[in-house]
């Protein structure tokens, strides 16, 4: 039996109003910029610079006669490195005309900062408790955690780098403390340079 087709179809839904389409278009532009912004959120050359600072710090830390002296050197490097990194990120953002505190940049800072804050507080606690040998492992673990969580909004290579830092932290915590400076040099120096160069080449600086 032939099927019956109604002569009058249901009226087509009203097309969206112009302002709704405009808002949709603006949202699309913002989303695309945010997604594409992950290409620029982290400065590869900044990471290379931080790696070089870490390599210099490692050389100075080796020359120290005590674990506390070595920690002082790394604390000085830890104070300098974020300034260099921030400068590199700001420079890259300006060059790409990206607002620094919008989109992925803001998400990265919000995700990266809490582990860094915890790391700073635990450093004071462990230093006062005299457990200085555990500090490098804790730093690496928390730095890696920050990079993994912050890197969730960035290119895939960033969280991978964070995992490598966390592994380095685990190694530092479960190996003799005399290895700490070597592990710190390999992680903060080597990993930053090794991951920084491809990020700089592939993701705009």
Partner 1 sequence: MAKHGTARDDRRPSVGNLRTLRGKSDSGSPASARADALDRLIHERLRLGIVSALAVNDSLSFSDLKKLMKTTDGNLSVHARKLEEAEYITCTKSFEGRMPKTEYKLTAMGRRALERYLDHMEALIRATRER
Residue whose C-alpha is closest to residue 103's, from 45, 196, 40, 26: 40
Q: Minimum Å distance from CB 154 to partner 1? A: 13
CB nearer to partner 1: give 108 or 165. 108
Give the shortest CB-150-to-partner 1 separation in angstroms: 18
| Residue nearer to partner 1 on the CB measure, 25 or 175 | 25
Summarize as ranges the residues that interact with partner 1 (CB under 8 A): 17-19, 22-23, 25-26, 28-29, 32-33, 35-37, 39-40, 95-98, 204-205
Residues with Cβ within 8 Å of residue 118, at least 6 apart in sequence: 142
Q: Which is nearer to partner 1, 115 or 196 (CB)?
A: 196
Q: Residue 32 or 113: which CB sits closer to partner 1? A: 32
Minimum Å distance from CB 163 to partner 1? Answer: 22
The minimum distance between CB 146 and partner 1, in angstroms, equals 24
């Amino acid at each position: 039996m032939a099927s019956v087709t109604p002569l009058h179809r249901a009226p087509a839904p009203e097309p969206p109003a112009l302002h709704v389409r405009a808002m949709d278009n603006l949202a699309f532009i913002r989303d695309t910029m945010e997604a594409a912004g992950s290409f620029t959120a982290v400065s590869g050359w900044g990471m290379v610079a931080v790696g070089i600072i870490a390599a210099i710090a490692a050389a100075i830390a080796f020359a120290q006669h005590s674990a506390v002296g070595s920690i002082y050197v790394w604390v000085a490097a830890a104070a300098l490195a974020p300034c260099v990194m921030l400068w590199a990120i700001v420079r890259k953002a300006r060059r790409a005309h990206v607002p620094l505190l919008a989109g992925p940049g803001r998400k990265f800072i919000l995700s990266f900062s809490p582990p860094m804050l915890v790391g700073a507080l635990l450093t004071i606690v462990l230093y006062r408790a005299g457990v200085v040998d555990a500090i490098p492992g804790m730093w690496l673990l928390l730095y890696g955690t920050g990079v993994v969580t912050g890197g969730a909004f960035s290119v895939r290579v960033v969280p991978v780098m964070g995992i490598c830092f966390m592994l380095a932290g685990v190694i530092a915590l479960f190996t003799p403390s005399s290895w700490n400076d070597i592990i710190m040099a390999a992680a903060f120096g080597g990993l930053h340079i090794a991951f920084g160069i491809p990020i700089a080449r592939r993701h705009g600086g």
